[in-house]
Amino acid sequence: MKILLTGKNGQVGFELGRALAPLGEVCAVDQEDCDLTKESSIRELVRRVQPDVIVNPAAYTAVDRAESEPDVAHAVNAMAPRVIGEEADKLGALVIHYSTDYVFDGEKPGFYIEEDEARPQNVYGQSKREGELTLQGAATRHLILRTSWVVGAHGVNFAKTILRLAAERDRLKVVADQWGAPTSAALLADCTSHLIREWQRKGDGQFRYGLYHLVAGGETNWCDYAKFVVAEALAAGQALMLSPDAIEAIPSSNYPTAAKRPANSRLDTSKFRGTFHLSLPDWRDGVRHVLRQLWDRQ
């Protein structure tokens, strides 16, 4: 089996490189190898590789910058999935694509299910929602995995930012009215590997394509997430200036950003777990694993 992997140097792409390697030949590319803002570049790549599976974690993820760069965000997040889907359909290939909690407005009081209306509140979310729709329209064989608050040992993320700030400051203010589930890139990669194996085993007749929510178990807010990271670091003997008690909870209105964020990013994973018979660990397990990886590198 031949697998084409985009975004190989991103948080999820990096972990996918590890998780997909046992499945077959992996052709992993990044922006230098394929310009996802150019339709011709994408088509040339897919036609040259002739993959059986295309895994597409590549995305424009600069949420605030997207407000001033909507054309680039839509090219990478909406046009590219459509083109990938069109080329995959010609080959009979499976496309696995990743989307985001930001397709929702965050106003629902409970957990979002896949059938809830998508009402993105910023350019990034709009571009990702458009990417879902264009891929659904282009590729017969597709999986769209919506996730949230991705964290990994490779790349930039909230947990690593908190660790850096905790080594520099003795007080910190963090938003406490936005809720979700930190989800490790490794979990996403391992689940993706499982899905490809299931697709190979079941084939078109039995495999259930479509849109699924895939996040770690449990829920938290950014402030409590920050406190957890700092507490784990201190317990591991890391030298920090900050203690969990010195992290102050603030409303998001006190921390204005160019892009509006959803207050509720909680995603219901019942469909994913029931369809693929997988259990999803608590978010703390994934974050602990990432932190241990970071400290092992020191």
Residue 242 belongs to a domain: no
Residue 229 lies in a domain: no
166 is a domain residue: no
Catalytic residue among 98, 102, 124, 225: 124
- Report the residue count for the chain: 298
Average pLDDT over residues 172-189: 98
pLDDT tens by residue, 100-113: 999 999 999 999 99
Which tokens is 180 given? 């979700």
Do residues 129 and 105 touch, judged by C-beta distance below 8 A?
Answer: no
296 within domain boundaries: no
**Lookup: tokens for 274:** 């029931």
* Mean pLDDT, residues 228-233: 98
**pTM, full prediction:** 0.97
| Nearest C-alpha neighbor of 201 from the set 9, 5, 23, 4 | 23
What is the predicted pLDDT for the residue at 296? 87
Residue 225 belongs to a domain = no
CATH of the domain at 18: 3.40.50.720
Domain encompassing residue 16: 2-157+181-217+266-282
Residue 124 falls in the annotated catalytic set: yes
Query: What residue has token string 């608590």?
Result: 282
In this predicted model, what pLDDT tens digit does every residue of 109-151 receive, in sequence order? Answer: 999 999 999 999 999 999 999 999 999 999 999 999 999 999 9
Residue 287 lies in a domain: no
Domain count, the chain: 1
